[in-house]
A = this chain, B = another copy of it.
Amino acid sequence: MATIEDVAKLAGLSRTTVSRVINDQPYVTDEKRQRIIQAMDDLGYVPNSSARRLRSQKTETIAVLLPRLTNPFFGNLIEAMEEKASEWGYQVIVCQTHDSKKKEMDYLQLLKTKQVDGVILASLVNDWKDVEPFLESGPIVFCNEYMDKACIPMVHMDHKQAAYDATIHLLEQDCRQICYVTGGPESHLSRKRKEGFIKALNEFGLHFEENLSIDWAINVSDGQKVFHMINNELPHVDGVFTGSDEVAAGLIYEAASSDWVIPEDLAVVGFDNQMVSLLMVPSVTTVEQPVKQMADKTVEVLIQQLLHPGALAPNRYVYPHQLLVRNSTKRKKLSIQ
């Protein structure tokens, strides 16, 4: 493999001059520049990035931590992030934590060992106090997940309000026994959602009931299980709030082979506006998040931190959500005007 030295020799010049050409710097005569370019071509020279990294203390690489890629929300998120990062010439390393504290800490080490310049946390299972020390090694930005006590940039929506809106909608459809279905570890985000859910209940004179709460549902097959649980143990339930379109879809799929009619017997709201929520029969009422905008902003904020280490950017970017009302909750027939 040719090195800068080889190129210098072949061109009959010094490493410095070659380096200048490589980095598009001035103070090189056109003639010598050409000679060097020629030499690089002849040798098939390519700068060794490990050497550059060591010299520059930069990697042009970022890590994105998330639970798992098969959750389409995170799939969409990282798709957009990679695209944006690539525009800036940055690589993206995928870090699936599977909600494991250990894996999360292991991936954070990438920052310490200088394998990446910065980190995006799209989920968090460890305590913030265990993560904070990593800030010494480079910037960290939250996306989706957030944490009031952390003094770093955060890009997310108002999950409390979103859950509130969705729940109010269920209540307005005359649901009174609403099952609260969530999954994954308890997080700041999930607590916010729960707050919104409870706030809405309270406004209708209801309160949160532990026995209508399910906290282990994260995918389609869990959704199917949830339906059977409701069918067998909670027949009085008339509405379901879930934090995931996949779960909602599984539930609705399973209900189709039963007596339950959706939404008349059971109204269901999902979350994320995944494709499947539109395709289901009935289509699923859901909360849309501006995933691409959030992803783009997150990458932008992180890279700005890398480029201008001093500049403290405003550190909250809250994006709007939208409740998309579809057939899985339309219990009230419209009166003919």
Which A residues are closer than 8 A to B by beta carbons? 1, 46-51, 53-54, 57, 59, 61, 68-70, 72, 75-76, 78-79, 82-83, 86, 91-96, 103, 109-110, 112-115, 137, 220, 246, 249-250, 253, 256, 275-276, 278-281
- Nearest to A276 among chain B residues (CB) is B276
Report how many copies the assembly holds: 2
- Nearest to A69 among chain B residues (CB) is B79
Q: A69-B75, A69-B82, A75-B72 are in contact. Are A279 and B249 (CB under 8 A)?
A: yes
B residues near A112, Cβ cutoff 8 Å: 46
A114 → chain B closest CB, angstroms? 5
Residue in A78, A103, A246, A250 with the greatest tally of chain B CB atoms within 10 Å: A78
Q: How far is the CA of A280 from the CA of B253 in the complex (A)?
A: 9
A134 → chain B closest CB, angstroms? 11
Partner of A220, one of B70, B137, B275: B275
Partner of A50, one of B50, B246, B275: B50
A70 touches B75 (CB 8 A): yes
Q: How far is the CA of A250 from the CA of B276 in the complex (A)?
A: 10
B residues near A91, Cβ cutoff 8 Å: 93, 110, 115
